[in-house]
Chain A
Amino acid sequence: MALGFLDRSRIVAPAGWSRWLIPPAALSVHLAIGQAYAWSVFKPPLEKYLSLSGAQSALPFQLGIVMLGLSAALFGTRVERNGPRWAMFVSLCCFCGGFLVAALGVLTKQYWLVVLGYGGLGGIGLGIGYISPVSTLIKWFPDRPGMATGIAIMGFGGGALIASPWSTEMLQAFGVAYDNVGRVVSVADSAIATTFLVHGLAYAVFMSVGVLLVRVPADDWKPAGWNPANDKAHALITTANVSARNAIRTPQFWCLWVVLCFNVTAGIGILEKASPMITDFFRETPVPVSASAAAGFVALLSLANMLGRIVWSSTSDLVGRKNMYRGYLGVGAVLYLAIALFTNESKVLFIVCAMLILSFYGAGFATVPAYLKDLFGTYQVGAIHGRLLTAWSVAGVLGPLIINAIADSQKAAGKSGPALYTTSIYIMIGLLVVGFVANEFVRPVNAKFHEPTGEKVTQ
C-alpha cells in the first residue's frame, strides 16, 4: 500500500543526518502518550460533573492500558513494515483523536464516548506510539541501545510529570473549582470538554515534530568508529535476526516475559500503595508521616522511576543486559527483604529501599528492548517488544490485586502498621526470585530460529 510521505522509503536519512535528532523525535511521542499516567487528575471533576463512582471514572485509563498491550502486540509487525513515521502519525491520530471523542462525550454527557474515545481509540495510540521509535533508535544507536531506548522510555515516565500539573491548571482555568484540600467543589459546563479539546490539539502539535523529524538510517550506515565485532564479546549479543513470529516460539522470549511481568508486578506493589504504605508504616512511631509528606514520597518515587529508566538502562550497555536484570531482580528482592525485616526502624532506610525498587521497576521497562535486540537482532525487534508488552498488561492487573487484597484482608483481621503489608512483601520477594531464575535461563537463541542469512532481510 502506498503511504506517501509516511512511507519508510521516504524517511531514509541523507548522508550527514545526525542521529541525535532521533531521541527528541521519540521523546515528543513518549512525553505525550505518557500523559496516560496522569489520568487520575481528570477523575474527581468527571465524578462530580457526570455523577460517576470511582470505579467508573477509572475505566478510560484501565481500557487504555489494556488497549496499549493489545495494540502493541497486534500492530507490532505492521509498525516494523511501515516504519516509524507511519507509526508515530497513527499514534498521533488515535491518541489525540481519543481526546477529541472524549471531549464530545463530556459535552453531550455520554460517558461511554469518553471511555471508548480516551480508552479505546487513545489506547491504540498508546500502544503504537510506545513501540514506534524502539527499533529505529536501536538501529541508530547499535553501540548504545540501552541508552537510546532508555531516553525514549524515560519520556513515557516523564509524560505524567508534565501532564499532571498542566492538566490541573487547565481544568482550573476552564472552570473547575477546588477547595483548599484539593476536593472538587464545582465544575462549569464546558470545563472538562474544553480541557480535553485543548489537550487533543496541543498534543497533536507536540507529536507532529516527532513525525516530521524521525528518520531511519540507510542500510549500510553505522556509527563512526563502531565495530560490531567488539559487541560479539558479550556472549548473548547476536548478529543474526529472528522474526517476531519465530521469537514467540523460543524459550528466551517467555523467560523475558516472566522477567518483565514479575519485575513490573513487584514495582507496582509499592507504586500502587505508596502513600498509605508510608503513612501506615510510621503511624505509631515518634516520626509519623503527614499527608503532604506522603505526597512528597509519591513524587520522589516518580523521580526514581524516571531516573532509573535512563541511568540503569544506559549502564546496561557497559555491563550487559543479563547482569543488569540480575541486579534489578536480585537486589530488588534483598531491598524488599530489608523493608520486611527493619519495617519502621528507619525512615531513611525505608525511603532509600523504595526508591531503588522503583528505579529498578522503571529500568526493567527501559532495558528490555535492548535485551531483545541482543537476543533476536534488529530485524523485528519493535514487533517482538510489542508482543512482550502483554506481560505489562498482566502485571498491571496482578500487582495491585495482590497488594490491595492482602492489605484489605489484614485490616479486616485487625492488623495495623507494617503488618498490613508484610505478606505482600514476601510475595513480591518470591516473584522477584522467580524472575531472577527465569533470567538465569536466558541463553543465546538456537540458530534454527534465525532468518536465512543468504538473502537480504527486508522490512
Chain B
Amino acid sequence: MSRPDQKVNRTPLIVFAWLWVGIPLLYGLYQLISKVTQLFTG
C-alpha cells in the first residue's frame, strides 16, 4: 500500500478508464456515421 506522501503514477489507470468507455463509444459512433451516409447516398 502506498504511503500518503508517495507520488503515485495514475496515468495507466487514466488511460485504461478512458479506453474502457471510449472504445464502445467509438464503435457506436462508427455505426452511426455509416448510417448517416445513407442520407446523402440513399
Query: Does A290 lie within 8 Å of B31, measured CB to CB?
Result: no
B32 x A24 contact (CB < 8 A): no
A-B pairs with beta carbons under 8 Å apart, 10 shown: A24-B18, A27-B21, A28-B21, A162-B27, A164-B31, A213-B17, A295-B38, A296-B38, A299-B32, A299-B33
Q: A453: CB under 8 A from chain B?
A: no
Q: Are B39 and A18 in contact (CB under 8 A)?
A: no
Q: Is A221 an interface residue (CB 8 A)?
A: no
Contact for A299 among B13, B14, B35, CB less than 8 A:
B35
Binding site for B on A (CB under 8 A): 14-18, 20-21, 24-25, 27-28, 31, 155, 158, 161-166, 206, 209, 213, 290-293, 295-297, 299-300, 302-303, 351
Cβ-defined contact, B39 with A303, below 8 A = no
CB distance from B1 to the nearest CB of A (A): 10
Quote the shortest CB–CB distance from A294 to chain B (angstroms). Answer: 8
Which B residues lie within 8 Å of A291 (CB)?
42
Interface residues of B in 4-22 (CB under 8 A from A): 4, 7-8, 10, 13-14, 17-18, 20-21
Q: Is the Cβ of B39 less than 8 Å from the Cβ of A296?
A: yes
Residues of B within 8 A of A163 (CB): 28
How far does the Cβ of A311 sit from chain B's closest Cβ, in whole Å?
15
Q: Quick one: which of B14, B28, B29 has the most chain A CB within 10 A?
A: B28
B20 to chain A, nearest CB (A): 5
B31 A300 Cβ-Cβ under 8 A:
no
Given A164-B31, A293-B39: A158 touches B25 (CB 8 Å cut-off): yes
**Complex Cα spacing A213 to B15, Å:** 13
Judge whether A209 and B20 touch: CB under 8 Å: yes
Which A residues are CB-close (under 8 A) to B42? 290-293, 295-296
Across the interface, B35 reaches (CB within 8 A) one of A18, A27, A166, A295, namely A295
Q: Does the CB pair A17–B20 fall under 8 Å?
A: no
Given contacts A31-B24, A155-B21, A209-B17, contact A296 B4 (CB under 8 A): no
How distant is the Cα of A303 from the Cα of B28 in the complex, in angstroms?
A: 10
Contact indicator A16/B31 (Cβ below 8 Å) = no
The answer to whether B14 touches A18 (Cβ under 8 A) is yes
Please give the distance in Å from B7's CB to the nearest CB on chain A: 6
- Chain B residue nearest to A25 in the complex (CB): B17
Contacts of B28 on A, CB cut-off 8 Å?
158, 161-165
Q: Chain A's interface: helix, strand, loop or mixed, by majority?
A: helix
**Contact B7–A16 (Cβ < 8 Å):** yes
Residue pair A300, B17 in contact (C-beta under 8 Å): no
Closest to B20 in A: A209
Q: What B residues does A14 contact at CB under 8 A? A: 4
Q: Measured between C-beta atoms, what is the minimum distance from B24 to chain A in Å?
A: 5
Contacts of B32 in A (CB 8 A): 161, 299, 302-303
Nearest CB in chain A: distance from B11 CB, A: 9
- Cα A17 to Cα B17 in complex, Å, equals 14
Query: A21: which of B17, B38, B40 is its contact (CB, 8 Å)?
Result: B17
- By a CB distance below 8 angstroms, the chain A residues around B41 are 293
Chain A residue at minimal CB-CB distance from B37: A296
Report B30 CB to chain A, min CB distance, Å. Answer: 9
Say yes or no: A165 contacts B31, CB within 8 Å: yes
| A299 with B36, Cβ < 8 A, contacts A15-B4, A161-B29, A290-B42 known | yes
Q: A162-B27, A302-B32, A303-B29 are in contact. List 4 more A-B contacts (CB 8 A).
A: A14-B4, A24-B20, A209-B20, A297-B39
A411 to B25, CA, bound (A): 40
Asked whether B14 lies within 8 Å of A21 as measured between CB atoms, the reply is: yes
A215 CB, nearest partner CB in chain B, Å:
11
Query: Looking across the interface, which residue of chain B has its beta carbon closest to that of A20?
Result: B14
Q: Which A residue sits closest to B10, measured CB to CB?
A: A18
The docked-state distance in angstroms from the alpha carbon of A161 to that of B35 is 11
Tell me how far the C-beta of B3 lies from the nearest C-beta in chain A, rounded to whole angstroms.
10
How far is A358 from B35 in the complex, measured between Cα atoms in Å? Answer: 18
Contact partners of A17 in chain B: CB under 8 A: 10
> Which residues of A lie under 8 Å from residue B10 when comparing CB positions?
16-18, 21
Question: Would A28 and B20 count as touching, CB distance under 8 A?
Answer: yes
Residue pair A300, B29 in contact (C-beta under 8 Å): no
Other-chain contact of A296, B13, B21, B29, B40 (Cβ < 8 Å): B40
Q: Name the contact of A162 in the complex, choosing from B25, B37, B38, B39 (C-beta under 8 A).
A: B25
**Least Cβ distance of A203 to chain B in Å?**
11
Bound: A16/B5 CA distance, A: 9
Tell whether, in the assembled complex, residue A292 and residue B38 are in contact, meaning their CB atoms are under 8 Å apart. yes
Q: Chain A residues with Cβ under 8 A from B27's Cβ?
A: 162, 165-166
Residues of A near B40 (CB, < 8 A) are: 293, 296
A20 to B22 alpha-carbon distance, docked (Å):
14
